[in-house]
Structure 1
Amino acid sequence: MVDRVSATRSELLVRRAQIGLAVQGRDLLKEKRTALMREFNRLSQNALAAMKDLEERARDARGALSETTALDGPEAVGSAALASGGEIGVGLKSKSVAGVKIVELEHDPVGRARTDRGYSLAATTPRIDGVAEGFEAVLDGLLDFVAVELSLRRLAEEITRTTRRVNALEHVVVPGLEGERDFIAMVLEERELENRVRLMRAKARANKETTERGPA
């Protein structure tokens, strides 16, 4: 590639400027990656805590469901489950972390009062209320976890993309420009040396001719 480089002082100045911009871009990308990794680590800790909490809620809810099904019968549990169906309002908002949109999920309260679940309180037992509360807690935790997981995926993708760009600048672009800069500088130095030698020879030849001619 250096064979095709025009070895002029203007090109040397251009390469120096390009190197400065490439290094500045690399440093900015490193700062961006640091900010992304900081947010990724923070959300990862939240995700681990949320996952552990969700597993505990799910285990308790499954236990309550098994006990209630055994004692009250699957028909009573199934009937209550059908009657208690409903909708939950969900909305998304986002914030920017180093240019990456981080999702935050907002939703209506999942937990409901006993009288708002749709099934007859007279025809059900408190155990069914316990099952409903348990799975409402599971759904509440699941909705919170989904937003964190989505944000983690976006951060991981952007961290990977940014790392590739940093590596390209650090190991390909900057070294290539530095190689061209050094090549141009070397050629210019050689030319300057050749010109200096040529001038010295011309001066020596002129002095010799003057000496041979003698005084006018």
Structure 2
Amino acid sequence: MARLNVNPTRMVLSNLKKQLRTAVRGHKLMKDKRDELMKRFLELARENKRLREEVEAQLMEVYGSFSIASAVMTPQMMEEALMYPKQSVSLAVGSKNIMSVDVPVFDFETSETEAGNIFPYGFANTSGELDTAIEKLSEIFPRLLQLAAMEKEASMLSDEIEKTRRRVNALEYVKIPQYEETIRYITMKLDEDERGNQTRLMKVKDLMLKEAIEERQEQDRESRAEYDRAHACQ
């Protein structure tokens, strides 16, 4: 792993150690977030699968009723019966936060509250299967909205899991190893400089001690010479 291109100083070393601690803490938080997102995604996927199977089974019944109605009624009669819907739906889109992800929440309100007002035609010239199909569609509509919200939530959680996974991998395999390698290099460089300084100090100390010894020996020789001259004069 290539180290960072920085000056090997104690200030840089201190800053890198702080950044490493932050990166390690951030890695743990991001990893916990990824695990929690995965847990919620799997729970959502199971619930989504169950709801989808129920909705698909109900839609098959609706398609079957429509097929029978289409066989009994003429295309013109079918088109006239469904041309002007009697009931309208207003859809409201909200949101909820899941692990910093804003997922949509759908809510709806119908213009007619009575169940009998969902049929936009009279019953004289239509088939009972068409009534059954429209009634089942009215019943399944809330589940369709719930399924759509769950599908979107699963998609958004999947994208967030992928982003979080990339960040975790970037911290684990790039940033943290770079910090560690750089800290190791700077520490070795500073230790090497410290050993070099110690060696130079020891050499300077030896030179100073040698000079002091030579100076002392010179003083001793001069004192001895003066002593010898003084005795010679006597």
Deviations 1:123-146 (A, max 9, x none): 334332112112324433322211
- Against the structure 1 CA distance between its residues 67 and 2, is the aligned structure 2 distance closer, same or farther, given a 3 Å change threshold? closer
Alpha-carbon distance in structure 2 between the residues aligned to 1:48 and 1:24: 36
Picking from 112, 120, 123, the partner of 2:122 is 120
Supply the AA of the counterpart residue of 2:27. R
Picking from 143, 146, 169, the partner of 1:144 is 146
Please identify, of 152-161 and 182-191, the stretch whose mean Cα deviation from structure 2 is larger: 152-161
Aligned residue runs from structure 1 range 27-176, under 5 A:
27-84=28-85, 86-108=87-109, 113-176=115-178
Deviations 1:80-106 (A, max 9, x none): 222435421111111111211011111
- Where 1:123 maps in the other structure, the secondary structure is coil
2:204 alignment partner in structure 1: 202
Taking structure 2 as the reference length, the TM-score comes to 0.81
Task: Give the conservation status (yes or no) of the 8 Å contact 1:19–1:174.
Answer: yes
Aligned pair count reads: 216
Supply the AA of the counterpart residue of 2:209. N
Deviations 1:195-216 (A, max 9, x none): 1222222333333444444385
- Against the structure 1 CA distance between its residues 117 and 173, is the aligned structure 2 distance closer, same or farther, given a 3 Å change threshold? same
Alpha-carbon distance in structure 1 between the residues aligned to 2:116 and 2:211: 118
What 5-or-longer segments of structure 2 have no aligned partner? 221-234
Alpha-carbon distance in structure 2 between the residues aligned to 1:112 and 1:148: 28
What 5-or-longer segments of structure 1 have no aligned partner? none
Structure 1 position 23, deviation (Å): 1.4
Alpha-carbon distance in structure 2 between the residues aligned to 1:22 and 1:156: 24
Alpha-carbon distance in structure 1 between the residues aligned to 2:5 and 2:177: 17
Provide the alpha-carbon RMSD of the alignment.
2.5
Aligned residue runs from structure 1 range 180-199, under 5 A:
180-199=182-201
Supply the AA of the counterpart residue of 2:56. E
Supply the AA of the counterpart residue of 2:164. T
Please identify, of 112-121 and 97-106, the stretch whose mean Cα deviation from structure 2 is larger: 112-121
- Against the structure 1 CA distance between its residues 23 and 59, is the aligned structure 2 distance closer, same or farther, given a 3 Å change threshold? same
